[in-house]
Amino acid sequence: MKMKVGFIIPTRNEEKSIGKVLSKIPPKWKRNVIVVDTSEDKTATIARKLGAKVIIERKKGKGIAVIRGLREAVKLYDSIVVLDGDDTYNPKEAVKLLKPLELNKAEAVIGSRLKNVSTFSPSHFFGNLFLTFLVSLLLRYKVKDVCSGFFALHKNVAEFVIKYCEAEGFDFEIDMLTKLIKAKYRVYFVPISYRKRIGKSKLNIIRDSILILRRLIKNLKGR
């Protein structure tokens, strides 16, 4: 029996890119897209016109948007793909993330971006590399990318994430990853392409790096 697959795209002011992202969703899944939008621009209008289900979330924060989408998606789908709406990820590569789930090799699959060195700023790249090394060392798990926003989850894992992940901002991915590893879920990494985003980044390197480190320390203390 084939998995029923849904997509969640958290967005904030992505009117220049959301159309490109939605156009790359494989045809068999185009009707299975949930856009969780916190924008002040025309992102939601464009997404609706292109056939996505749009949920307007008044409270800002990437983690908030992803959890809101997951709450809806677990009612409908067996597996759920999450990716950003800024055109940094290629939705066509979702098949690479879903394959280990279909073969029961993993329960969560995360796209690893860190071979795309030229796409990152030096601070972004080396910060990600350092955090990835640190998590691998401290959790004794072979981690390839701790902050990737492109991942696929089995429904049962999505339900775990909804229940236990509390990060509201850009610390969501490291919150999710560390909790999944500690809970002994089978987490698998696959290499993906990664390109420079369309539009201005919402990430503040200093502020969000501190946020991510605090989240990591908190999760490790909870071992």
Segment 57-67, tens digit of pLDDT:
999 999 999 99
* pLDDT confidence tier of residue 117, bands split at 50, 70 and 90: low
Measured in whole angstroms, how far is the alpha carbon of residue 50 from the centre of its chain? Answer: 21
- 188 pLDDT more than 60: yes
Q: How many residues does the chain have?
A: 223
Please tell me which residue, 134 or 15, carries the higher pLDDT value. 15
DSSP 6: E
Note the pLDDT of residue 202: 62
* Domain boundaries, given as residue ranges, for the chain: 5-221
| Domain boundaries 5-221, corresponding CATH code | 3.90.550.10
pLDDT beyond 90 at 45: yes
| Better-predicted residue by pLDDT, 199 or 166 | 166
Question: Which is more confidently placed, 26 or 121?
Answer: 26
Mean pLDDT of 146-157: 96
pTM (global) more than 0.85: yes
Contacts of residue 161, defined as CB under 8 A and 6 or more positions apart, other chains included, come to 67, 70, 153, 176, 179, 180
The pLDDT score that the predictor gives to residue 124 is: 75
Average pLDDT over residues 94-103: 97
The residue to which tokens 């809101």 are assigned: 68
For the segment 46-57, what is each residue's pLDDT rounded down to a tens digit? Answer: 999 999 999 999
Q: What are the two backbone dihedrals, phi and then psi, of residue 165, each rounded to the nearest 5 degrees? A: -85, 130
- DSSP E strands: which ranges in 26-141? 33-37, 53-56, 79-82, 108-112
Nearest to 49 by CA among 8, 9, 15: 15
